[in-house]
Structure 1
């Protein structure tokens, strides 16, 4: 087993952090470093650190908005370089979309925004993957979706978006949904995404808050099992 010593997490907004994942990583003796998108040259910073694992977190911009947000080009280049060397990468929401885009898949607006708590349906491969630990509702918060990258393994879907989770070999995993979110942090999401919520049909602050109270505790325990299982896989 390879001893992991550092994880770099690229963060796009302050409140979409590692959440429950951070405690798991620290319990395993892994140093956690955040790099904030748009603050310095990401490609150079990550290359210099050469972390054992890279995690790309969520954000409100689209993976293809590289003209408006040039740092996304750096993230895409970084992901391509790591995938070429089969170095572990985990992408969450925007992070999953960036992995898909880095592999040449199309990223585009979904038929409807998917915001709120709900289950994912596992594929046959998903049942045999770490994603199978996630039987509780997860938090969905996205308006874009993507095609399954060539060579990737489809793991999970919802009626709104077929491609909710995928794996690339044993070293890369993309999750369109959020499993890392902490119930104690949901108010920051509701504040930070207030405008988006107000524009989304059928979505309410009260419903998200109530569902978080119902589901977050179970998701937090399942997310720990999920991440530990995936880390065991990428470390062997």
Structure 2
């Protein structure tokens, strides 16, 4: 989707030893995706990514954190990431509600796809953009250019099928949906979620004049 919008991609994989850029002077912004690890894990690359987020924040460059990426942003800003107090998860399709601040930015989908067992604090001075019943902080903006979301709008059909197979052992966790519900939900909710993602990427990465052209 970013390529279609005219952005060449510079893909870095810190877990495999790729270095992260010292500056984003030559980048339009940065995205950190999700992953099966926790932002609390004592892994060198996890700590390195959390610390590196100071680069786009310091340079006021667009940053978009998805699930683990959002949790890393929270950790960088001094917030906590933790499991639900009763052990409940969000694995499957669940509703979210935009806040008044969120509605001012974009039209939000009613159902989004989750695959997480931890949530995060709302960082100090951040604006809550969307909330949920179980995990209240679903999307937020920090400053003008840093965004974090708890859910997965980037999931393709192939990715979902892979997650349903390799993540099936997690469907027995409290509040998790079974694999059939994941696939059936995609038929119902994926189109509006993708429409939202396209508009959200414009919001994050395109200047106002280009977004309105």
Task: Tell me which interval the TM-score lies in, with the shorter structure as reference length.
Answer: 0.7 to 0.9
Structure 1 segments unaligned to the other structure (5+ residues): 1-22
Give the Å deviation of 1:200. 4.4
TM-score calculated relative to the size of structure 2: 0.88
Residue 30 of structure 1 is matched in structure 2 by: 7
Decide which of 54, 57, 60 is 1:83's aligned counterpart.
Answer: 57
Partner SS state of residue 155, structure 1: strand
Give the Å deviation of 1:133. 2.6
Coordinate RMSD, CA, aligned: 2.1
* CA distance in structure 1 between the partners assigned to 2:148 and 2:209 by the alignment: 17
Give the Å deviation of 1:178. 1.1
| Alpha-carbon spacing, 1:56–1:136, altered in 2? closer, same or farther (3 Å) | same
* CA distance in structure 1 between the partners assigned to 2:173 and 2:97 by the alignment: 27
Give the Å deviation of 1:235. 8.4
Residue 120 of structure 1 is matched in structure 2 by: 96
Residue 74 of structure 1 is matched in structure 2 by: 48
Give the Å deviation of 1:123. 1.1
Give the Å deviation of 1:161. 0.8
Residue 128 of structure 2 is matched in structure 1 by: 154
Residue 42 of structure 1 is matched in structure 2 by: 19
| Alpha-carbon spacing, 1:26–1:100, altered in 2? closer, same or farther (3 Å) | same
Q: Is the 8 A contact 1:182 1:220 kept in 2?
A: no
Structure 2 segments unaligned to the other structure (5+ residues): none
TM-score calculated relative to the size of structure 1: 0.80
Residue 219 of structure 1 is matched in structure 2 by: 193
Q: How many residues align?
A: 207
Query: Which structure features the higher share of strand residues?
Result: 1
> Moved runs in structure 1, 4+ residues, more than 3 A?
198-202, 233-236
Residue 8 of structure 1 is matched in structure 2 by: none
Give the Å deviation of 1:202. 4.7
